[in-house]
Structure 1
Amino acid sequence: MLAGKRITLIIGGGIAAYKCLDLIRRLRGAGADVTPVLTRAGTEFVTPLSVAALAGARVFQDLFDLKDESEMGHIQLSRAADLLVVAPATADMMAKMAGGHADDLATTLLLATDKPVLMAPAMNLRMWGHPATQRNLAQLRADGVAVVGPENGDMACGEHGPGRMAEPADILTAIAAALGPKPLIGKRVLVTSGPTHEPIDPVRYIANRSSGAQGTAIAAALRDLGADVVFVTGPASVAPPAGVQVVAVETAQQMLHAVEAELPVDAAIMAAAVADWRVENNFTQKIKKAPESIPILTFSENPDILKTLSSHVMRPPLVIGFAAETENVIKNATAKRARKGCDWIVANDVSAETGIMGGTENAVHLVTMDGVEDWPRLPKSEVGHRLAARIAEALT
């Protein structure tokens, strides 16, 4: 997958540095050559000996190595790779990168390089959400730095939330995408994501447990393959990916209008969990609790966005729907594909015990006119990359 590719891996100073040992193993297993750069803080978590043993190469640490610097070694090192990877990218490292600092070997390499850079952030959730870190993130993305993660999860500090470094398998996938071909350049792809919120009154609404994580992963993977992505999203808990056109909506009716407004496109992936019904008599004022008085809600069916798009006068060449089921998954998904008129259905079991709805993993079945493909349980990012690859095959 990465045969002959040269990766400079900058290991930052965070507890997640231990994952880099597995990442190095995976990179070499994929055929890549790894040049490790270990920061001073990084040595508090992994040793130069363990890194060198797995990389099969010398570990670089000191900017002022006289032998190398007599030949401007830091310039050569910064440009000899096909890709520079920073993992973990701590809050401090991100701040230095965004500010153009060059006070050690790692930051000097990053400032001197003319090659693409990918970073995998990792830090406490409060640090990740801090306005300073988010400003630095926006600046780095504007500078062209690719980002993988972070994920939600348990942290070494005992807290739970966003800030956990992406898993080595996901970083490897992001590296392959950064270095791989861009078969979707020139293609415009629409992705819907997240739940819809159907108002009952100004403070209450009907919704579902969709986080938007799978739609976001699909949009990011399509972007990585060169597509011009339009991302129509409901009120999701997962932030939309960078580098795509974001159209924010709230209700199913708004989503349908947004989808139609973006036509024509080469493909449409309807990953949003759209509410089937809306409250016809939604209240303009907050409903007050009154003795012996329970409000009566009248429901209307929401527009069927997938079916509408599948029969649209500007129907995309490839229309993909999703089927979130709790029983008879493949049977129901197969029937849904025929009923809606779409080309593919991505089906999954969202029963409570699976942990898939709102979780970080997914186990899907790809239903097409040719049959059913059963995919193993994978991180949602990997599902996104697999689906994006299949879409690229269909469109090119």
Structure 2
Amino acid sequence: MPLPDISANDADFHTDPYSFYARLRAKGPVHRVEVTAEYTPTFLVVGYDEARRALGHPALAKDWSSGEILPGIAVTEANRNMLESDPPQHTRLRRLVAREFTARRIEAMRPRVQRTTDDLLDAMAARPQRTADLVKALAFPLPMTVICELLGVPHLDRERFGYWSKEVVAPTSATPNTTAHQKLGEYLAELVGAKAEEPGEDLLSALIRTRDEDGDALSSGELIGMAFLLLVAGHETTANLISNGTRALLAHPDQLAALRADWDGLLDGAVEEMLRYDGPVQNATYRYAREDMELGGTTIPAGATVLVSLAGADRDPERFGTPDTFDIRRAPQGHLAFGHGMHFCIGAPLARMEGRIALRGLLERFPDLAEDPAGGPPDHFGGSLIRGVTRLPVRW
């Protein structure tokens, strides 16, 4: 019997991966799957309890830079980040970053997020044809602007940066390619050097200055890796939260009407349900078994790769009743859209704030917003990492 193949660029799968995960989950929580020759064997975790366990399992490593796990894949400065490291290095990096990436700094961004949202919606409202690609008009430029300003990335570089970022999270080729990583690393090395010479008030400058009680600080390579992680993760996830959330609400007019009738009471829960129902990250980045282990009744051999399906876990009926129903009044606490354990997304509070501001602003500004059938169907990202659309035609 052939292995399930999640590497194929199958339009039906990318349109609705949840049916695929449900069929697998009905047979068990963990399955051997086909991805690419570089990642063999690979195990996909689709059950909620098993996913949560895997995300914090000490036998599953994230650091592949030794060259033994993925031979032939070049390591760049961009890979020297928290997401691709294990304790004690991960603990050290996260501690240093957490000293500056604080709730206070994030909250201070709120007025800028609101102004940027208002400006983008003004530009949409001024369009005489009353149609737009919501990804290009709002979902992409808002978080890109916010994260670039947070890190101090010059405005003129953002389009180029966006292209490289897309190639990292949703590559257009199935063949492993480090070009985008290298380009990002080279650019960020220049940026870190410039910030070191002329620091500002941005987060990257603060990370260059920060020291812990023992005098420890981030090296130049670690700063490049941290900037890479914060920039790529900081805008890709939020962009897809906004577009996926909008699609979910437009497809469920009863839920949209309820939200419009009670913004203050339902908005926070609605964003959490959007994250659970159709979150921005389909599968967590790869983990690697340090030793033979058992998960969900399946033996995973040492050296195997493990993909934790956040999308599959968040539709597990053992954890969420009627999981395929979009219900903004649900209590979705415990969803895994931002991960779990030591690698829980450090930028989750910023993404939530941007999502709430953007979605409320959009739906209040355009009360008759709808998907635009004349614009054609949305195009979904390929690959197994990101869950979202490259374009979302809307009208009002």
Normalised by the size of structure 1, how large is the TM-score?
0.21
Q: Between Structure 1 and Structure 2, which shows a larger proportion of strand residues? A: 1
- Give the greater-gyration-radius structure (CA): 1
Higher relative contact order (CA 8 A, sep 6+): 2
Normalised by the size of structure 2, how large is the TM-score?
0.21
Q: Between Structure 1 and Structure 2, which shows a larger proportion of helix residues? A: 2
